[in-house]
Amino acid sequence: MATAQTRTLSRIMMAPAVIVLLIWMIVPLVMTLWFSFQNYSLINPMMTGFAGWANYVYVIGDPSFIQSLVNTLILVGGVLLITIIGGTLLALLLDQPIWGQGILRIIVISPFFVMPPVAALIWKNGFMHPGYGMLAHLWKFFGLQPIDWFNQYPMFSVIVIVAWQWLPFATLILLTALQSLSEEQREAAEMDGANAINRFYHIILPHMARAITIVILIQTIFLLGIFAEIRVTTGGGPGYASTNIAFLVFRTGILSNDIGAGSAGGVVAVVIANIVAIFLMRAVGKNLDA
Amino acid sequence: MGSISLSHVKKSFGEVQIIPDISLDIKEGEFVVFVGPSGCGKSTLLRLIAGLEDTTSGTILLDGVDMTKAPPARRGLAMVFQSYALYPHMTVRDNIAFPLKMAKAPKEVIDQKVEYAARTLNLSSYLDRRPRALSGGQRQRVAIGRAIVREPKAFLFDEPLSNLDAALRVNMRLEITELHQQLKTTMIYVTHDQVEAMTMADRIVVLNAGRVEQFGTPLDLYKKPANRFVAGFIGSPRMNFVDGPEAARYNASAIGVRPEHFSLATTPMPGAWKGKVGVAEQLGSDTFLHVHVDGLGLMTIRTDGDQTFGHGDDVYLTPDPARIYRFDAAGLAL
């Protein structure tokens, strides 16, 4: 790309792809913005026209919105907590030389390959079903009353399922970081009289800080929009107990057939995602500076 | 304090035997260099002493105390690694203070010792920098500083200069030697560079395939090599070896002559080896001639820098009869 000619050429060659991507992104965004200011309800097709901020007032003013926002943050926070701590511990374990390491790693990573609705179904029917789930059997074995997970602890159940899916991702990234720590640094710390716990806090954890940051950022992006797991298991309920922002948009726009209000919710979700992203970058982004 | 004594130390990784059987006595305050070609087990031996590897059998005594099974931290030794192994997220100050913090030393003591180490090593103005903002030589000094503050029984150096450029290496060589004279602590230094070994050591251990070939002062090794391996390894350029009928004239299965122990003539001399100059390497102070000697092969000759021999010149070589090393069929010196 040294000369003006190659630069021009490369721009021309890239243009089609860039234009297609741009249209792909801009058109839905603009349409959503447009719908969010329109009266557009499938139940009441006669009511059309410009709605002003009515859709936004309707979505944000609804008490379910605050609950959904809180649920979104609990879901993201809970899953992050479980995956970071669990992932670090698993990575430390997997870093030990053991027989069958290769196979074991693939097994550990496999939940990540299961599609979200499938994973949710496995958990819903295989583990958490109050009648024939594995956990129900376990509870009965100890003479306890089986728990109806999705009714009694809806958010907790969703968090467990999502964390199960994302734990392998965190483990994988953290394990890679762990393996890039030079053996000599560990040995130097050992010679310097640091015991295993001190080595972890003073040498290993700072070394992994960057990988942990990356895991937090990537997971947050995906966790803000968790949908399939909720749809398959609790359906957002009971009430709004396990509805997050993404699911609220779905409920408003599709289940209640109010496209205008749904679009407004979508726009709000985008704004919230950006606010979260800004806070996150402030909080942990400094770890990314080399 | 700081005597190190190994007796019948053996080390194998699975089936592979790295160190068959080594016994060594390193006196207090000595600067000992382990030297040998790569893969000879010198680093493994150092790591055994450090406690970073388990000994398969044998005992390691530090100051007369059996430390064979002791963890590295309890041995009271400090090690400087080839990659320096500085902690990248800590400042120079924290790096140097780390072993003291781990030993739970009081803050004033830590500050005082870090200051002292920094002054000794000329690091005072870099204390608040991170390792990545330092040059190779400075990083090396931080690694040494981290070792000094612990006041160890002995320092272990694992090829510490191999990542530095040539000029800096000469500098650091002097600095480490000076440090030893100042601290008078036992030091073990591993290198594959025989020049480092010769210039720094009080005594040198020449290792080959996990065996000690010879243990002696640099000049001992140079003047009285125990065998053909040591003779070839110590000295630069390396010794010229001749075997066959020419060696038999000296009642040996092989003879060796160092490049600096030849006299050179342009006219035939009785008993001289006739050869043709291949390459002349002019260093200014010296000239190394690579001479193809009829029937004996390629020989390296060291002459003074004013010689003007060039490619294709005929020369006659006479080895200094007092400095011909003779070896038997097993390679041992006669």
Domain-by-domain residue ranges, chain B?
4-232, 239-327
| pLDDT class of A87 with cuts at 50, 70, 90 | very high
Strands (E), chain B: 4-13, 16-26, 31-35, 57-62, 65-66, 77-80, 154-158, 186-191, 203-208, 211-216, 240-243, 254-257, 262-265, 273-282, 286-293, 297-304, 314-319, 325-327
Token pair belonging to B91: 């400042």
Could you tell me the two tokens for B202?
Answer: 């009080």
Lowest-pLDDT choice from A43-47, A89-93, A115-119, A177-181: A43-47
pLDDT surpasses 90 at A289: no
Lowest-pLDDT range, A127-131, B187-191, B289-293? A127-131
Mean of the pLDDT values across residues A239-253?
A: 84
Considering only residues B183 and A288, tell me which one the structure prediction assigns the higher pLDDT: B183
Give the Cα separation of B24 and B309 in Å (integer): 47
Instruction: State the burial class of residue B181 (Cβ atoms within 10 Å of its Cβ: 0-12, 13-18, 19+).
Output: exposed
> For residue B236, what are the contacts with CB-CB under 8 A and spacing of at least 6?
B194, B195
Contact status, residue B177 vs residue B199, Cβ threshold 8 Å? yes
Provide mean pLDDT across the span A182-208. 87
What confidence score (pLDDT) does residue A13 get?
A: 92
Whole-number percent of chain B with pLDDT over 90: 16
Show the tokens assigned to B126. Answer: 């870099």
What is the mean predicted confidence (pLDDT) over B272-300?
88
Q: Which residue is closest to B133 within chain A, CA to CA?
A: A290
Closest by CA to A94, choosing from A196, A171, A15, is: A171
Per CB distance under 8 Å, which residues of A are interface residues toward B? 182, 184-185, 187-195, 198, 202-203, 206-207, 209
Residue A48 has a pLDDT of 77
> Residue B31: its pLDDT value, please?
92
Which one, of B190, B332, B326, B178, lies nearest residue B252 by Cα?
B326
- Phi/psi region, residue A100 (left: phi>0; alpha: psi -120 to 50; beta: rest), is left
Confidence of residue B1 (pLDDT cuts 50, 70, 90): low
Residue A102 pLDDT grade (very low, low, confident, very high; cuts 50, 70, 90): confident
* Cα-based torsion angle of the residue sequence B148, B149, B154, B160 in order, rounded to the nearest 10 degrees: -40
Q: Which residues of A touch B52 (CB under 8 A)?
A: 187, 190-191
> What does the alpha-carbon distance between residue B323 and residue B249 come to, in Å, rounded to a whole number?
15
Q: Which residues of B touch A (CB under 8 A)?
A: 50, 52, 71-73, 77-79, 81-83, 85-90, 98-99, 102-103, 146, 150
User: How high is the mean pLDDT of chain A?
Assistant: 86
- N-terminal to C-terminal alpha carbon distance within chain A: 26
Query: Distance, in angstroms, between B81 CA and closest chain A CA?
Result: 7
Distance CA A265, CA A246 (A): 8
Average pLDDT over residues B275-280: 89
Please tell me the predicted confidence (pLDDT) of residue A1: 56
The C-alpha atoms of residue A284 and residue A281 are separated, in whole angstroms, by 6
B246 in Cβ contact with B274 (< 8 Å): no
Domains of chain A by range and CATH? Answer: 54-288 (1.10.3720.10)
DSSP bridge pairs for B277: B291
Confidence (pLDDT) at A106:
84
Shortest distance, CA B99 to any CA of chain A (angstroms): 5
- Chain A residues within an 8 Å CB radius of B130: none
DSSP string across A135-185: HHHHHHHTTPPPP-HHHHSHHHHHHHHHHHHHHHHHHHHHHHHHHTS-HHH
* DSSP summary character for residue B22: E
Give the Cα separation of B157 and B176 in Å (integer).
10
Mean of pLDDT over chain B:
88
> Sheet containing B211-216: which strands, arranged edge to edge?
B77-80, B154-158, B186-191, B31-35, B203-208, B211-216
What's chain A's Rg over C-alpha atoms?
Answer: 24
pLDDT band at B34 (very low <50, low <70, confident <90, very high): very high
HSE-CB for B224 with a 13 A CA cutoff: 5
**Tell me, what's the pLDDT at A144?**
82
pLDDT of B321 reads 86
Sequence-separated contacts (24+) of A178-181 with Cβ below 8 Å = A178/A91, A178/A92, A178/A95, A178/A204, A178/A207, A178/A208, A179/A95, A180/A207, A181/A207
Domain at B4-232, CATH homologous superfamily: P-loop containing nucleotide triphosphate hydrolases (3.40.50.300)
What is the rounded average pLDDT of the residues A10-37?
91
Categorize the per-residue pLDDT at B190 as very low, low, confident or very high, splitting at 50, 70 and 90. Answer: very high
Kindly tell me the burial class for residue A198, based on how many C-beta atoms sit within 10 Å of its own C-beta (0-12, 13-18, 19 or more).
Answer: middle
* Portion of chain B with pLDDT greater than 70, in percent: 100
3-class SS of residue B87: coil
* The CATH number of domain B239-327 is 2.40.50.140: yes
| Beta carbons of B22 and B210 less than 8 angstroms apart | yes
Find out whether the peptide bond into B237 is cis, omega within 30 degrees of 0.
Answer: yes
pLDDT score of A23:
93
Beta partners for residue B273, in sequence order: B317
**pLDDT score of A79:** 94
Q: Show the beta-strand stretches assigned E in B151-235.
A: 154-158, 186-191, 203-208, 211-216
Given the cut 0.85, state whether the ipTM is greater than it: no
User: Mean per-residue pLDDT for A258-270?
Assistant: 86
- Binned at pLDDT 50, 70 and 90, residue B258 comes out as very high
- Give the pLDDT of residue A22: 92
The pLDDT confidence band at residue A16, using thresholds 50, 70 and 90, is: very high
CB contact under 8 A, A202 and B87: yes
The pLDDT score that the predictor gives to residue B73 is 85
Considering A234-243, B76-85, B305-314, the range whose residues carry the highest mean pLDDT is B76-85
Given B52, B83, B102, which is nearest A192 (Cβ)? Answer: B102
